[in-house]
Amino acid sequence: MKAAYISHPSSLRHEMGEGHPECPDRVAAIADRLLMRGVLDLMETFEAPAATEEQILRAHESRYYAELQAKAPAEGYVHVDPDTSMNQHTWTAALHAAGAAVLATELVASGQFKRAFCNVRPPGHHAERGQAMGFCFFNNVAVGVRHALDVLGMERVALIDFDVHHGNGSEDILAGDDRVLMVSTYQSRLYPFSGDNPRGANMCNVGLPAYSTGDALRSAVVDHWLPALRKFRPQMIFVSAGFDAHRDDDMSHLGWSDADYAWVSARVAEVADELAEGRIVSTLEGGYDIPALARCVELHLRALLGID
């Protein structure tokens, strides 16, 4: 199966201070693992372009774009919320992370590739229309979704989000847009303390109790996601791929295993093949235990590519 791998060197230059969990080692470890395990041999590599202002403004307010650009420091750090800050490379990295989603969307929508994976940072699914938060500046996947709809003419797309934290930014941007179905799981009553009261009829949010295992994920997928997706019949599937529900990741209190990530990724691949001509654009979100992150991204891509 033809698949695209998209990244950019600026993902390694953006950082938010010593000891911060959302660190450059995340994308480096993923790239190293995929190279060592031969997965990259099965994918075509692309360097992410910078998203244009026009592309970003399909998901974000112009005021916010201008204010964030003005905050970009020449040196040191500028905090935009208590745990999210910019260094001199953040603005560039954020543009290329969003641009990766745009390129992935174009490659998959055109039929050049069935699957695409964006190994970029900063992540995006907490970024709201007018607010950076939760390590996120631009909502990469929402920029891709809006590009598919508003530029490429897709009529229905789905967003699947299995990060341990609710994708409040994606919901803020996409709630009420009947061209989009968002299905998600997350740990209830965990940052950003949202999701349990969906903001639109096009949101299928399944909060999971703390200390639950992958069995709760599997029930959410079978009982909620799959019926909603089959009813909606998307033409393309986007994935906010967060790996921080892993039992080794101390950012949460869920107990998913490597096998759970392989299982959910296989279900995503199956439903894409059934409903969306196989079209999948997956973008990296969370995942902060580096060894578990690298292993599970490999399993995610093996499932999407249909290889053992």
Write the CB contacts of 67 (distance below 8 Å, at least 6 apart in sequence): none
Catalytic-labelled residue, pool 125, 126, 165, 166: 126
Catalytic: 126?
yes
Catalytic residues: 126
